[in-house]
Amino acid sequence: MLGRVEPIDDIAELMAGIGRKARAAAQPLSIASPEQKMIALIAMADAVDRRAAEILEANRQDMADGEKAGMAASLLDRLKLDTGRIAAISESIRTIAALKDPVGDIIAEWDRPNGLHIERVRTPLGVIGVIYESRPNVTADAGALCLKSGNAVILRGGSDSAHSSRAIHAALAEGLEAADLPADAIQLIPVTDRAAVGEMLKGLDGNLDVIIPRGGKSLVARVQAEARVPVFAHLEGLCHVYVDASADLDMARRIIVNAKMRRTGVCGSAETLLLDRLIAPARLLPLLEDLHAAGCEIRGDASVVQLFVAAKPATEEDWSTEYLDAIISVKLVDGIGDAIAHINRYSSHHTEAVIAEDVHVVERFFNEIDSAILLHNASTQFADGGEFGMGAEIGIATGKMHARGPVGVEQLTSFKYRVRGNGQTRP
Amino acid sequence: MLGRVEPIDDIAELMAGIGRKARAAAQPLSIASPEQKMIALIAMADAVDRRAAEILEANRQDMADGEKAGMAASLLDRLKLDTGRIAAISESIRTIAALKDPVGDIIAEWDRPNGLHIERVRTPLGVIGVIYESRPNVTADAGALCLKSGNAVILRGGSDSAHSSRAIHAALAEGLEAADLPADAIQLIPVTDRAAVGEMLKGLDGNLDVIIPRGGKSLVARVQAEARVPVFAHLEGLCHVYVDASADLDMARRIIVNAKMRRTGVCGSAETLLLDRLIAPARLLPLLEDLHAAGCEIRGDASVVQLFVAAKPATEEDWSTEYLDAIISVKLVDGIGDAIAHINRYSSHHTEAVIAEDVHVVERFFNEIDSAILLHNASTQFADGGEFGMGAEIGIATGKMHARGPVGVEQLTSFKYRVRGNGQTRP
């Protein structure tokens, strides 16, 4: 059935049924015990390991199809599984299994003068839809994170990785069965039509509570524009590093190279470097030389081009470009105020770092910039749920509602109030 | 200008300008000190008191217009101000002034093995749009709550209360000026065209972060259906009270009458009473007699009609009707499991109460029902931000994303992460 174009009516019907089954599974899942969910997750990890050969064989089919279709090498690399990557998948599920169960966690509690005791406790969101592209490991990560947080999930993987996702999903299903949890808790849509995405965006008759798109900008933009349900979206990571005159410049060198070059294709990679004009040119140069030596193209404003012969001139467009590549835009600014103004104008509100020893500079940076993650004297590449200690993430949200920054199990929950009284009536 | 129909293009332009001004005001507001906001709020309360005569005169104009237009008595009562109600408005602003400032509050903090220290801190949401109908006090409450939480607000009041809202807004503007805060922090739209609402629903070119509709179901439904920005909506409060066989029935009598009859027109008023079939008929009867004596119409299932002669038969529609009136639907159920099933099927997930002494019954009720507020041995009429100790509320959210239950100053915030390092790079 995979990849075959079905008549639209069938897709609508198929998706409506998937929505109803997810909603039905969400209720028992919301009251499943932490132990039951942990048993399921460990059984899933074991099943992934046990089924490794089968998953690799499925992946070989996807790879062969991709090569035949002329898929780009970078996409083929994202798609490819090997024994090491499969071990990483089962390890990630075990990490999620070991996390604290968020459901029922008391976030806050207080007493009222009339004797009422109020608790705010975490609850699952309900049914989560995840729309992703070629990475097969998302099937496992999203399935495991949603289960841990007590949510039913509808997975819509890309057609490129359809066989791999199906093989991984079979392992997840085995885990659900081992723990006596409903099979519909984790559903993988069995067709890869775009119409299925359209149905999800319409909300499956109220049976979908939130959509998480994981993929390129065009997918995310389509989901944001068309979805009739809330979206946890990661649009782009146009991350800045500002080096203040008070900075430890040896530290700045190490952080800048790491922030830009550790991995250039991730959302936490730095795209623009802002340098305090008060730093002496002789001390600035090494910062740029390090980047250049590491293979990074430098696009600078007029001052930078004058200072560093290998720099190309930056255009206005450079300040709002997420390169996701070994390119960085560099600008000299007049101190922290000017840096903040530049960031507030061009940032995608994802992640920004300040390198400074002056605490007043750091406090202004922390207070006056409204981005999800602000770092002091550390690399922007720490923008990651695992690095934050959340165990794993389903993505990084760039919106400000509900979830912001890394989306882990806590961010996949809502809350309710439990109020205990002894006969109180309201005057 | 009020109420005059403007050409649509002018409205679009007007609203776009209001959006830009709100966004520009949001930045200084987000970094305003707690003291500065408190000074503004106290000056606003003082100005409301000082301008009482002026506000009353404006309200008399609205009342005269309403009477001329044949407005219903209940709506006229909502619209009407007197010296007592004006004192309540300024008192409410003073209560909000005295609340803890949420901005910058550290919600959580932890250390990572690599020495990074992570803080999650509250930040304002940005620009909030409030769309409301005839109650003039919403102008003051919404303006004060948004200011306290560091947000700019765009107020779109109803045409019925246009003069009153304008007079109250003038007092708020005086408070902003006294604290040297931007006048555009609290803007009241100077026209009452429906087209202005349409522009808000489209999001004012990205200059509106969330919309809060306060009013009847048709307004809320329109906003939910059409808004392209997040909505904190209160759709309906179909609240249940379940009386278990283990209940203290004297307590149950008091709570039921209060839950239904204290005020029948509020969202926390009980609409359905579920009675455990194990309670002896002779002990059940007083519960119904009390309600009946208090002037409440009882619509019961077959068992209830048989038991209580004054009960009318309930139809299927009754179980999903929010009466907002002195009417209650009553059903006998087979214990807690049956009560939970009924509530999960018909509830609007707003507020439910259980009257029981058996702790296992209470725990099942608390765990297996997914409503914003669950109460044990207390009246559903406590569903209110003030009663929760939040000082004041801008509404009660029935959605599960971001805000749920009473929306006070904390719920009007987002958060960001501040990460402090000493040179960490990511391996």
The token duo for B195 is 């087209």
Q: What SS3 state is found at A289?
A: helix
Contact between A180 and A36 under an 8 Å Cβ cutoff? The reply is yes
The token duo for A419 is 């109020």
Per-residue pLDDT band at A175 (split at 50, 70, 90): very high
On the CB side of B248, CA atoms within 13 Å amount to 13
**Phi/psi of residue A246, nearest 5 degrees:** -85, 0
Interface test with B, best of A105, A119, A291, A418 (most B CBs within 10 A): A418
Where in A76-225 does DSSP place strands (E)?
Answer: 106-111, 117-124, 127-132, 152-156, 186-188, 210-214
**Helices of type H across B136-216:** 137-148, 162-178, 194-202
Nearest CA in chain A to B226: A228
Distance separating alpha carbons of residues A410 and A390, to the nearest angstrom = 9
A 270-309 near B (Cβ less than 8 A): none
**Helices of type H across A31-160:** 34-50, 52-68, 73-79, 83-98, 137-148
The token duo for B14 is 């007007």
Q: What is the pLDDT of residue B3?
A: 47
Q: What is the pLDDT of residue B43?
A: 98
Distance separating alpha carbons of residues A331 and A321, to the nearest angstrom = 14
Distance separating alpha carbons of residues B302 and B1, to the nearest angstrom = 58
From the list A380, A382, A356, the residue with the least C-alpha distance to A271 is A380
The predicted model gives A138-142 an average pLDDT of 94
Residue given tokens 């723990």 in the structure block: A179
What is the separation, in whole angstroms, between the first and last Cα of chain B? 63
Distance separating alpha carbons of residues B245 and A41, to the nearest angstrom = 39
Q: Report CB contact under 8 Å: B426, A381.
A: yes
The token duo for B179 is 């604290």
Go through chain B and tell me how many residues it has: 427
Q: In what order do the strands lie in the sheet with A297-300?
A: A312-313, A297-300, A327-333, A270-276, A239-243, A351-355, A373-378, B413-424, B117-124, B106-111
Homologous superfamily of domain range A8-232+407-418: Aldehyde Dehydrogenase; Chain A, domain 1 (3.40.605.10)
The predicted model gives A383-392 an average pLDDT of 88
**Phi/psi of residue B270, nearest 5 degrees:** -70, 140
Distance separating alpha carbons of residues A129 and A155, to the nearest angstrom = 6
Q: What SS3 state is found at A150?
A: coil
**Phi/psi of residue B106, nearest 5 degrees:** -85, 110
Contact between A233 and A397 under an 8 Å Cβ cutoff? The reply is yes
Give the angle subtended at the CA of A294 by the CAs of A293 and A295, to the nearest 5°: 90
The predicted model gives A10-15 an average pLDDT of 93
Taken in order A366, A370, A374, A380, the sign of the CA dihedral is: negative
Q: Report CB contact under 8 Å: A123, B374.
A: no
A72 contact partners, CB below 8 Å, separation of at least 6: none
The token duo for B184 is 């555009």
Residue B133: count of CB within 10 angstroms of its CB: 18
Taken in order B217, B222, B223, B229, the sign of the CA dihedral is: positive
Contact between A329 and A273 under an 8 Å Cβ cutoff? The reply is yes
**Does the beta carbon of B230 lie under 8 angstroms from any beta carbon of chain A?**
yes
Residue B316 DSSP one-character state: G
CA distance A285 to chain B (A): 20
Give the angle subtended at the CA of B329 by the CAs of B325 and B333, to the nearest 5°: 155
Q: Which CATH number fits domain B239-382: 3.30.70.890, 3.30.870.10, 3.40.309.10, 3.30.470.20?
A: 3.40.309.10
Distance separating alpha carbons of residues A103 and A148, to the nearest angstrom = 9
Residues of B whose CB is below 8 A from A422: 251, 377-378
Q: What SS3 state is found at B398?
A: coil
Q: Report CB contact under 8 Å: B258, A426.
A: yes
Per-residue pLDDT band at A2 (split at 50, 70, 90): very low
**Helices of type H across B99-241:** 137-148, 162-178, 194-202, 217-226
Go through chain A and tell me how many residues it has: 427
From the list B203, B192, B202, B187, the residue with the least C-alpha distance to B146 is B187
3-state SS string over B254-303?
HHHHHHHHCCCCCCCCEEEEEEECCCCHHHHHHHHHHHHHCCCEEEECHH
**Phi/psi of residue B152, nearest 5 degrees:** -80, 150
Nearest CA in chain A to B269: A426
Q: Report CB contact under 8 Å: A112, B387.
A: yes
Distance separating alpha carbons of residues B266 and B264, to the nearest angstrom = 6
A 258-277 near B (Cβ less than 8 A): 258-259, 262
Q: What is the pLDDT of residue A110?
A: 96
**Does the beta carbon of B256 lie under 8 angstroms from any beta carbon of chain A?**
no
Residue given tokens 């994981």 in the structure block: A214
Nearest CA in chain B to A389: B112
**Does the beta carbon of B345 lie under 8 angstroms from any beta carbon of chain A?**
no
Domain edges within chain A: 8-232+407-418, 239-382
The token duo for B163 is 């003069």
B 110-139 near A (Cβ less than 8 A): 110, 112, 116, 118, 123, 125-126
Distance separating alpha carbons of residues B409 and B100, to the nearest angstrom = 9
What is the amino acid identity at position A30? S
CA distance B8 to chain A (A): 24
Interface confidence, given as ipTM, is 0.91
CA distance B243 to chain A (A): 13
pLDDT digits (tens, 9 = 90+) for A145-166: 999 999 999 999 989 999 999 9
The residues that bridge with A396 in the sheet, in sequence order, are A406
In order of A118, A316, B388, the CA distances from A113 in angstroms are: 11, 59, 10
**Phi/psi of residue B402, nearest 5 degrees:** 65, -80
The predicted model gives A280-307 an average pLDDT of 96
In chain A, % of residues over pLDDT 70: 98
Q: Report CB contact under 8 Å: A370, B123.
A: yes
B18 contact partners, CB below 8 Å, separation of at least 6: B154, B187, B189, B204
B 23-82 near A (Cβ less than 8 A): 27, 30-31
Residue A269 DSSP one-character state: S
Parallel/antiparallel/unpaired status of strands A152-156 and A106-111: unpaired
Distance separating alpha carbons of residues A267 and B216, to the nearest angstrom = 43
Consecutive H or E run containing A273:
strand A270-276
Per-residue pLDDT band at A388 (split at 50, 70, 90): very high
B417 contact partners, CB below 8 Å, separation of at least 6: A372, A373, A374, A388, A405, B118, B119, B120, B121
Contact between B106 and B370 under an 8 Å Cβ cutoff? The reply is no
Q: What SS3 state is found at B404?
A: coil
Q: Report chain B (427 residues): mean pLDDT per 10 consecutive residues.
A: 56 96 96 97 98 97 95 88 96 95 95 96 96 89 96 94 96 98 97 90 95 88 89 88 97 97 93 97 94 97 96 97 96 98 94 98 96 97 92 85 92 95 96
Helices A162-178, A52-68: crossing angle, 10 deg rounding: 160
Residue given tokens 């099927």 in the structure block: B345
Q: Report CB contact under 8 Å: B116, A378.
A: yes
Residues of B whose CB is below 8 A from A373: 416-417, 419
Residue A320: count of CB within 10 angstroms of its CB: 15
B181 contact partners, CB below 8 Å, separation of at least 6: B28, B29, B32, B36, B37, B40, B147
Nearest CA in chain B to A259: B425
Q: What is the pLDDT of residue A266?
A: 87
pTM of the model: 0.90
**Does the beta carbon of B423 lie under 8 angstroms from any beta carbon of chain A?**
yes
B 235-254 near A (Cβ less than 8 A): 248, 251, 254
Per-residue pLDDT band at A3 (split at 50, 70, 90): very low
Q: What is the pLDDT of residue B2?
A: 46
What is the amino acid identity at position B53? A
Residue given tokens 């790079």 in the structure block: B425
Distance separating alpha carbons of residues B42 and B49, to the nearest angstrom = 11
The residues that bridge with B329 in the sheet, in sequence order, are B272, B299
The predicted model gives A81-110 an average pLDDT of 95
Nearest CA in chain A to B364: A31
Distance separating alpha carbons of residues B278 and B346, to the nearest angstrom = 22
Residue A198, pLDDT above cutoff 90: yes
Per-residue pLDDT band at A7 (split at 50, 70, 90): low
Residues of A whose CB is below 8 A from B421: 375-378, 382
* Structural class in CATH, domain B8-232+409-418: alpha beta
Contact between A390 and A403 under an 8 Å Cβ cutoff? The reply is no
Per-residue pLDDT band at A75 (split at 50, 70, 90): confident
The residues that bridge with B415 in the sheet, in sequence order, are B122
Consecutive H or E run containing B383:
none
